[in-house]
Amino acid sequence: MADRERLTKTLMDLIRIDSPTGEEDAVDREVSVRLQALGFQVYHDSFQNIIAKLDGQGEPVILSAHLDTVEPGRGITPVLEGDILRSDGTTILGGDCKAGVTIVLEALTAVVESRAPHLPIEVVFTRAEEGGLVGIHNLEFSRLSATRGVVFDGEGKVNRLTLAAPSQNVVTAHIQGRASHAGVEPEKGISALLIAAKILTQLPLGRIDEETTANIGRLEGGLKRNIIPEKAFLDGEIRSRDRGKLDQYSQQFREVFDRVAAEYPEARVSLDIRNSYQAYHLEGSDPSVEMIARALERVGLVPSLESSGGGSDANVFIENGITALPVGIGVHSFHTKDETAVISEVLQGAEVCEQIITGL
């Protein structure tokens, strides 16, 4: 049985190991040692994602989470108050996704300890999820034999099952104008920032409809107060759960960039729109959904089938033919200094995970 005290200790231990995106080595070592102690064969692929396997009986299942956290996520001090774990207020907690990793480790520990029969298990702990699903994009999928699984990386309680998630196109643009002295000969300059601003005001942004959003999250440019800015850089995204709308709004973005660029024939505007991950929609009758729903019901929880506005490693698993679905990990307010983990909910996650791997 999943043990509350052991789970709390694991979670706090992992949170104390810094692992901002790109700096996952230390937490990787800790997690790998724990998996080996449980009898797993631990393999690192060329991106240093963890793929760990344990033999069992029946149809194999993937249990996945990610090792990295967002910033500010260094020197995190977890503070436990009753059922609630939070940071000291100066950093995120890192429950996203240390609670996911903890859920998997605790469930595995409980099952191995009990010597109960279980399914063949394939644990996938990715790196650089927060950097734009970079780890999973580089995962050696050929190493996996399971076609179903669970991604422990959702906000809220474990019964929150994400059945639909959007596609994302990443939008970047470089604008090259011309520098000149702003006081002496401004007429010789072409302001890259002004071009960027014109583009910004014409783009469809924010919530476009029920299933589509767009954002320019970063605009950089210019050097000094008295120089007409020569360069500007825009970084943004478009998301939709509908592939057609994603294409349609990407096309609108291109048209706006072209139109504004045409007003400045001497400037250079280069736009790049590329797909980062694909949308998915699963039905309640999908075998992976049923597997998770059964496990939830066994611990007395009612599945809540939801659609999400964000992508996760699950999008890329599904793109690769593996229906690994995201569930909640008992963590709230992801990516903020107010992030909390509710221990009783994390524990429920471990109990559900146990039910999944014992395959009852």
Give the active site residue among 45, 68, 313, 339: 68
User: Looking at 96, 230, 351, 354, which residue binds Zn ion (CB under 5 A)?
Assistant: 96
In DSSP terms, which residues pair with 69 in a beta bridge? 20
Dihedral over alpha carbons 340, 343, 345, 350 (to 10 degrees): 120
φ, ψ at 73 (rounded to 5°): -135, 40
Q: How many positions of this chain bind Zn ion (CB under 5 A)?
A: 3
Binding segment (CB under 5 A) for Zn ion, from list 8-16, 96-104, 255-263, 316-324? 96-104
Does residue 68 carry a catalytic annotation?
A: yes
Of 45 and 130, which has the nearer Cβ to Zn ion? 130
Alpha-helical (H) ranges within 81-132 are 95-114
**CB of 69: closest distance to Zn ion in angstroms?**
8
**CB of 163: closest distance to Zn ion in angstroms?**
18
**CB of 328: closest distance to Zn ion in angstroms?**
11
Binding segment (CB under 5 A) for Zn ion, from list 10-18, 19-27, 94-102, 248-256? 94-102
Question: For residue 66, how far is the Cα from the chain centroid?
Answer: 8
User: Looking at 97, 108, 171, 296, which residue binds Zn ion (CB under 5 A)?
Assistant: 97
Residue 352 CB neighbour total at 10 angstroms: 27
Q: Which of 170, 232, 237, 167 is nearest to 205 (CA)?
A: 237
Of 153 and 339, which has the nearer Cβ to Zn ion? 153
Residue 242: HSE in the Cβ half-sphere, 13 Å Cα cutoff: 10
Distance, CA of 69 to CA of 128 (rounded, Å)? 8
Distance, CA of 336 to CA of 154 (rounded, Å)? 15
Does residue 297 carry a catalytic annotation?
A: no
| Cβ(71)–Cβ(22) below 8 Å | no
Of 201 and 336, which has the nearer Cβ to Zn ion? 336
Give the active site residue among 24, 129, 130, 351: 129
Distance, CA of 105 to CA of 360 (rounded, Å)? 19
Of 111 and 158, which has the nearer Cβ to Zn ion? 158
Fill in the per-residue mask, 144 to 163: x = in contact with Zn ion (CB under 5 A), - = not in contact: ---------x----------
Of 35 and 99, which has the nearer Cβ to Zn ion? 99
φ, ψ at 232 (rounded to 5°): -140, 150
313 binds Zn ion (CB under 5 A): no
Tell me whether residue 121 is exposed, middle or buried, using C-beta atoms within 10 angstroms of its C-beta: 0 to 12, 13 to 18, 19 or more.
buried
Catalytic residues: 68, 129
Interface residues with Zn ion (CB under 5 A)?
Answer: 96-97, 153
